[in-house]
Amino acid sequence: MSVDVYLNFNGNCREAVEFYAQVFETEAPNFMTFGETPPNPEFPLPEEAKHLIMHTRLNVFGSNVMFSDVFPGMPFVPGNNISLAVVLSDEEKLRKAFGKIQDGGQVTLELQPTFWSKCYGMLTDKFGIQWQFSLEE
């Protein structure tokens, strides 16, 4: 059993997921758009929603992370209510991912020794998502 994370984006879900797939060297994501859902005459799909991502998922170091765009008109608050923790026992892999994901983002704490990990860092990526990286011994 696992607890999966679901992240919502404001129209740039495809770009974010493709970026994360490259950073974490995962399988290519499969995207389902709102336009691919069965039509419902009671709730016609607005044209601007058809290309947006309804659902996709990546396996990031053994954890499922799911993603979607918010439906047009729904509220969106970028990343301030969640942070994702990447905990690895492979320092090289940790450093490589941290180095890649900081592209276009802002590092809050460079990778460094802490009292709970010999290699820990924090950043906010270019999509406003907060990440923590920690080496597990």
Give one word for 24, left, alpha or beta, with left for phi > 0 and alpha for psi -120 to 50.
alpha
Per-residue pLDDT at 94:
95
Query: Model-level pTM?
Result: 0.79
Per-residue pLDDT at 1:
44
pLDDT in tens, 22-45: 999 999 999 999 999 988 888 899
pLDDT in tens, 80-116: 667 898 999 999 999 999 999 999 999 999 999 998 9
pLDDT in tens, 47-87: 999 999 999 999 999 999 999 999 998 888 876 667 898 99
Separation of alpha carbons 44 and 64, rounded Å: 31
Q: Alpha carbon of 14 to those of 46, 90, 109, 114: distances in Å?
A: 19, 28, 27, 35
